[in-house]
């Protein structure tokens, strides 16, 4: 039994994808309950399912049936458990998908995920009689391998367990179900069933414990002994996992202190941020996917399954605002470990703190709607991005201001970054947008070097180190003043607006960050000129481009959509200036760019009215959380031209 082949060949919109996860890895599910992306055992591992990047070669786990159609979906309230409603002929079916987690409470870390990954599907007929097949077609190594599938059972007849040697012979994926698997064909199999109202089947992919070898597991939990069970799963067992998983998520979200407008959307963003967290180390990846395009059919396709140090201050700001101290501490500890493994900070890291593998293209995958190349790894790792010093020191400052302390070793590392900023700020770099068209003197990078020095000075005072660091602090002050003078003289155009790079008239939305980090006041003349220029030259409706891509600076062909983070920076700038009605209206309208279950991608194409880029995008959800909090503060009269810290006027 299968759906129409031509229908399967059509790619769902990017907004159709909804994530489920266990704080180790993530699966993406469509509106018709097809799992089209799953890497295991962790975010940056090779995929088992990748149909979102190639309908035929990628592999999927889907529900088939005559006249099958989507009929709505939702997350179970306050959880990451996804419930999809389908019409199969005249019947109504619900599919409940989750990666199981168990509520082992550890006060210092929070609940810990299962040591073994369990991807679970419960398929229940609600009305009528549904004749369907739940078909699995694993394609390991990004579709490069045709797996060897085996049917196993205690007597050779009760075919309940489907085992697949994964990459190499060490690891096996075990496909279990509450009913027999069918015949293996085309390196896939299915559970076929005719369900009356009230009847249900359950299916599980269980990944063995070998994935934990060599990893730093912070939970301290014992590994489960791994046995290839031959008895069938029972529904009661799967429902017990469901209950534990629901309890985990509801316990976790109850920590949130946010009580303002759009609370449901803010809490969904918080859950999504937790989904993007790799629990064993505390790292938070930028997105759960690779190579979803910034332009359909274009080549701006990047692997975002890594952790960028640049995101540190934005991430910590959001976590602290929501009251997630354990997650903030774990993320900060990961950042300190990752940053200590090299002479200077790299741009991004894998979740275990190592650099990503070299960037390469996967010719076996055609890419989402023909958007080639599909890339894994990220060459930006080795770029010179001077702004990292500012974001990293800002993160340390936020953490200490929230009650943490720095050890002597940690202080030396962070203060060393300030020394680097003082020495290197005059150099050209590739900056926040990771330009591939050559190094230039980007204004944002200069300002963030100023931020690095400003935060180092503040930290020295807060930590009682001013006396012993007197000479060093004097150097930082001198360098900070030189940066300010250079930016104010060379980084603005005649109307007072800050520009993308020195001695140019080109606008860049990153200049909206300058009042947010305290370089200028939000109600200053320069901030107002920059805000107006961004609105006039980069905004299309509610959405803001990062810059006008013409290939000369970023070195890439084609265009991209509105960058949702930049639109939230616009909200923050309006709030800083006291233009609260405009800020609220823009925030409300931006909410419409989430999909039906509250998930944001990286970008949005205003002309085609569709999501673009990798999904779910941590930066977008972080920006939404921050803007919601900042609007609350502005409405209470707490902003007064600044968001996080004192700012100078102009």
Same domain? 274 vs 158: no
CB 39 within 8 A of CB 99: no
- Tell me the percentage of the chain whose pLDDT exceeds 70: 87
Nearest Cα neighbor of 272 from 501, 502, 538, 82 is 82
The answer to whether position 240 is within a domain reads no
Radius of gyration of the chain (CA): 25
DSSP 8-state class, residue 15: G
Same domain? 157 vs 277: no
The answer to whether position 257 is within a domain reads no
SS3 535: helix
Same domain? 21 vs 93: yes
User: Of all helices (H) and strands (E), which one includes residue 320?
Assistant: helix 312-322
Q: What is the pLDDT of residues 434-448, one digit of tens each?
A: 999 999 999 999 999
The answer to whether position 227 is within a domain reads no
Same domain? 209 vs 309: no
Query: What residues pair up with 277 in beta bridges, in sequence order?
Result: 284
The answer to whether position 573 is within a domain reads yes
Same domain? 187 vs 324: no
17-21, 223-227, 312-316, 414-418: least confident range: 223-227
Q: End of a domain among 219, 250, 275?
A: 219
Same domain? 437 vs 549: yes
Separation of alpha carbons 565 and 547, rounded Å: 13
49-63, 164-178, 557-571: least confident range: 164-178
Q: What is the pLDDT of residues 535-550, one digit of tens each?
A: 999 999 999 999 998 8
Same domain? 561 vs 626: yes
The answer to whether position 342 is within a domain reads yes
Same domain? 545 vs 624: yes
The answer to whether position 125 is within a domain reads yes
Query: pLDDT confidence of 398, banded at 50, 70, 90?
Result: very high
The answer to whether position 237 is within a domain reads no
Q: Please report, for the domain that includes residue 295, its CATH number.
A: 1.50.10.10
Q: Please report, for the domain that includes residue 165, its CATH number.
A: 2.70.98.10
Average pLDDT along the chain:
89
| First-residue to last-residue Cα distance in the chain | 69
380 contacts: CB under 8 Å, gap ≥ 6: 347, 348, 430, 434
Q: Which domain holds residue 396?
A: 266-635
Same domain? 193 vs 283: no
Q: End of a domain among 203, 219, 235?
A: 219
Same domain? 189 vs 287: no
Same domain? 367 vs 464: yes
The answer to whether position 522 is within a domain reads yes
Tell me how many domains the chain contains.
Answer: 2
Q: What is the pLDDT of residues 498-526, one digit of tens each?
A: 999 999 999 999 999 999 999 999 999 99
Nearest Cα neighbor of 268 from 29, 77, 100 is 77
Same domain? 305 vs 180: no
Separation of alpha carbons 426 and 540, rounded Å: 34
Query: pLDDT confidence of 214, banded at 50, 70, 90?
Result: very low
Q: What is the pLDDT of residues 350-397, one digit of tens each?
A: 999 999 989 999 999 999 999 999 999 999 999 999 999 999 999 999
């Amino acid at each position: 039994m299968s759906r129409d082949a031509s229908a399967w060949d059509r790619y769902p919109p990017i907004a159709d994808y909804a994530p489920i996860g266990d704080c180790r890895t993530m699966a993406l599910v469509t509106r018709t309950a097809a799992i089209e992306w799953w890497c295991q055992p962790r975010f940056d591992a090779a995929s088992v399912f990748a149909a979102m990047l190639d309908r035929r070669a990628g592999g999927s786990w889907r529900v088939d049936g005559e006249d099958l159609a989507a009929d709505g979906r939702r997350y179970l309230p306050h959880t990451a458990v996804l419930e999809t409603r389908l019409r199969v002929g005249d019947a109504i079916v619900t599919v409940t998908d989750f990666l199981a987690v168990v509520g082992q409470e550890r006060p210092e870390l929070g609940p810990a995920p299962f040591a073994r990954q369990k991807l679970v599907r419960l398929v229940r007929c609600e009305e009528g009689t549904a004749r369907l097949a739940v078909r699995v077609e694993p394609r390991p190594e990004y579709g490069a391998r045709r797996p060897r599938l085996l049917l196993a059972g205690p007597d050779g007849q009760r075919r309940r367990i489907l085992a697949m040697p994964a990459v190499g012979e060490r690891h096996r994926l075990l496909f279990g179900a509450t009913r027999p698997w069918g015949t293996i064909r085309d390196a896939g199999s299915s559970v076929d069933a005719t369900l009356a109202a009230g009847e249900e089947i359950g299916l599980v992919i269980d990944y063995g414990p070998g994935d934990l070898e060599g990893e730093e597991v912070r939970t301290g939990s014992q590994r489960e002994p791994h046995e290839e069970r031959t008895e069938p799963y029972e529904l009661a067992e799967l429902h017990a996992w469901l209950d534990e998983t629901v309890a985990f998520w509801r316990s976790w979200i109850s920590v949130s202190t946010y009580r303002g407008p759009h609370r449901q959307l803010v809490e969904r963003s918080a859950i999504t941020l937790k989904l993007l967290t790799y629990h064993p180390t505390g790292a938070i990846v930028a997105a759960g996917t690779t190579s979803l395009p910034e332009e359909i059919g274009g080549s701006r396709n990047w692997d975002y399954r890594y952790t960028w140090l640049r995101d540190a201050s934005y991430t910590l700001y959001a976590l602290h605002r929501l009251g997630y101290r354990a997650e903030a501490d774990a993320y900060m500890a990961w950042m300190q470990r990752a940053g200590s493994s090299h002479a200077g900070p790299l741009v991004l890291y894998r979740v275990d703190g190592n650099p990503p593998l070299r960037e390469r293209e996967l010719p076996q995958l055609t890419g989402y709607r023909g958007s080639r190349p599909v890339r894994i790894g990220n060459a930006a790792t080795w770029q010179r991005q001077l702004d990292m010093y500012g974001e990293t020191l800002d993160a340390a400052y936020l953490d200490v201001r929230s009650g943490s302390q720095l050890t002597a070793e940690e202080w030396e590392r962070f203060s060393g970054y300030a020394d680097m900023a003082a020495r290197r700020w005059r150099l050209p770099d590739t900056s926040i947008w990771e330009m591939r068209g050559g190094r230039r003197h980007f204004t944002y990078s200069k300002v963030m070097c100023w931020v690095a020095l400003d935060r180092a000075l503040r930290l020295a005072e807060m930590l009682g180190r001013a006396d012993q660091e007197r000479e060093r602090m004097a150097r930082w002050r001198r360098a900070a003043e030189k940066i300010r003078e250079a930016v104010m003289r060379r980084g603005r155009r005649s109307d007072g607006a800050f520009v993308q790079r020195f001695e140019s008239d080109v606008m860049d939305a990153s200049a909206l960050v300058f009042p947010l980090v305290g370089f200028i006041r939000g109600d200053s003349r320069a901030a107002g000129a920059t805000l107006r220029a961004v609105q006039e030259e980069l905004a299309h409706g509610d959405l803001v481009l990062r810059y006008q891509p013409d290939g000369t600076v970023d070195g890439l062909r084609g265009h991209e959509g509105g960058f949702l983070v930049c639109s939230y920076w616009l909200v923050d700038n309006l709030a800083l200036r006291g233009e609260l009605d405009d800020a609220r209206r823009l925030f409300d309208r931006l909410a419409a760019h989430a999909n039906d279950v509250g998930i944001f991608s990286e970008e949005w194409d205003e002309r085609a009215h569709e999501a673009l880029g990798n999904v779910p995008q941590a930066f977008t959800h972080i920006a939404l959380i921050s803007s919601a909090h900042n609007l609350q503060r502005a409405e209470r009269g707490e902003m007064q031209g600044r968001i996080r810290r004192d700012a100078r006027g102009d």
